[in-house]
Amino acid sequence: MKKNVFGIMILVLSLISCQNQPSDKSGSEKAGADEKAEVKSETSKGKYGIKSGIVVYKTQMMGMDAIQTTSFDDYGQKEINDLTMEMMGVKIHSANLTKDGYMYTLDLTNRTGTKSPANPMQNVSIDFQNLTDEMVKDMNLKREGKEDFLGRTCEKMSIDYTQMRMKGTFLVYKGVALKIDVMVGSTKMQLTGESFEENPTIPAEVFDVPADIVIP
């Protein structure tokens, strides 16, 4: 049971942690997509439209409340998603850290972890700040107007992404998904922002792997 819960927690963490990218194309279509992506990179410094941020989300897994805190810096080049919950009186604590081109999956309860190259194509998150026309088409993203949330005017985006079996909506502010309500396969993923700090100063050590966790 605990192993299954940890697996679901990692899925929740990955939902907003790493960037996505368009599928491989050939010929002039690929060249056109590359050109669009290049134009985007010139106008955006990273995954987010703000340098740093801290979002505290409330979510539920298997009927139990959980809290996820997402902290990022350098426009998303460094990001950590920290999730805590309690199951039958036992506290479960995990984190997903992305920096320097690597993803660290950390079990902060048992003090273990793994490291792997960050591979955007293996994650279900969306880089809203750098969307190309091709990505919008592939994921069937639609802009559904504006909605106020946490004191910000957000863009409401709907998705029906067959490849990832993802369908639902996002409330997005400067690339930051402040509210997520989607189905991924048969799993409901709902994260609701409870608070949001825009451009805070985040200590560098927040993005360090704890010294007592040995990464194989």
Which pLDDT belongs to residue 88?
77
| CA atoms of 33 and 25, how far apart (whole Å) | 8
Q: Which residue has the tokens 């639609």?
A: 142
DSSP per-residue codes, 80-119: EEEEEEEETTEEEEEEEEEETTEEEEEETTTTEEEEEE--
* 177 has pLDDT over 90: yes
Which alpha helices (H) appear in 94-209, and where do they start and end? Answer: 133-138
- In tens, the pLDDT along 108-153 reads 999 999 999 986 544 446 889 988 999 999 999 999 999 999 999 9
Rounded to 5 degrees, φ, ψ at 135 are: -65, -40
| CA atoms of 72 and 143, how far apart (whole Å) | 25
Indicate the pLDDT class of residue 45, thresholds 50, 70 and 90. Answer: confident
Give the chain's mean pLDDT.
Answer: 82
Which pLDDT belongs to residue 91?
87
Query: For the CA atoms of the chain, what is the radius of gyration?
Result: 17
Rounded to 5 degrees, φ, ψ at 3 are: -65, -40
Least confident segment among 86-95, 129-138, 162-171, 190-199: 86-95
CATH number of 2-21+38-198: 2.50.20
β partners of residue 144 = none
3-class DSSP assignment, residue 122 = helix
Asked whether 67 and 84 are in contact (CB, 8 A), the reply is yes
Least confident segment among 25-34, 40-49, 96-105: 25-34
Name the nearest CA neighbour of 65 among 38, 92, 34, 99: 92
% of the chain surpassing 90 pLDDT: 58
Indicate the pLDDT class of residue 176, thresholds 50, 70 and 90. Answer: very high
pTM to 2 decimals? Answer: 0.79
| Average pLDDT of span 81-101 | 89
Indicate the pLDDT class of residue 12, thresholds 50, 70 and 90. Answer: low
Indicate the pLDDT class of residue 39, thresholds 50, 70 and 90. Answer: very low
Domain limits of the chain?
Answer: 2-21+38-198
Which pLDDT belongs to residue 21?
39
Indicate the pLDDT class of residue 13, thresholds 50, 70 and 90. Answer: low
Looking at residue 68, what DSSP letter applies? E
Pairing of strands 166-173, 152-161: antiparallel
Which pLDDT belongs to residue 186?
87
